[in-house]
Chain A
């Protein structure tokens, strides 16, 4: 299906484990973004990418790692999960200012 997909949709993990959240888009958009959404904070940018192999930090990058070897994929890795990383994570893509969001991954860190 065309669009932007995220997997898994739900994930429960334990403190200290490594977790990778996947994002895939079929539009060949140059830009991709990772956000987390928490009550009281709204959407906060974690990392973004302007093209394959070009990534940069957003507002809250600590504890996260990204890579982008292919234009269509933008995985987000939590190297050692902490309880404070319990959140809903959204991936988005764009070719300009209009960003299109995926359905989100709800992550719980116990």
Chain B
């Protein structure tokens, strides 16, 4: 079993839709959870950062962490064509700040 599982998609939605992106993980030591957005031919950029369980909201983006289920989610409200990108989940629990990444989900938002 991989440490982090993420459905690669692709996921295609109409503009304005609510998007749900998810990752599951197996390592109970993970405490820090991140979502990165990667546009085509660009480097990943940090979108959301959450410590332990709970929700965090930033504009149209909400990150949720359920440590009891080892499940994290990213919700995008009122999705826009500019949200079209690959979304990578990442997580860590060690003292050396290494991240374990999911393989990414390719999202396309159609106008």
Q: Does A75 contact B (CB under 8 A)?
A: no
Whether A103 lies near B42 (C-beta < 8 A) is: yes
Q: Which of B10-18, B53-61, B68-76, B91-99 contacts A (4 or more CB under 8 A)?
A: B91-99
**CB neighbours of A45 from chain B (8 A):** 98-99
Least CB separation from B94: chain A residue: A97
Main secondary structure of the interface of A (DSSP, over half): strand
Whether A101 lies near B45 (C-beta < 8 A) is: yes
The interface size bin for chain A is 20 to 34
A70-98: which residues lie under 8 A (CB-CB) from chain B? 90, 94, 96-98
Whether A40 lies near B103 (C-beta < 8 A) is: yes
Q: What distance in Å separates the Cβ of A45 from its nearest Cβ neighbour in chain B?
A: 6
Q: Does A100 contact B (CB under 8 A)?
A: yes
Question: Which of A40, A43, A48, A98 is the one whose CB lies under 8 Å from B49?
Answer: A98
List 7 other contacts, CB 8 Å, given A58-B98, A97-B99.
Answer: A40-B103, A43-B101, A97-B32, A97-B49, A99-B97, A100-B46, A102-B43
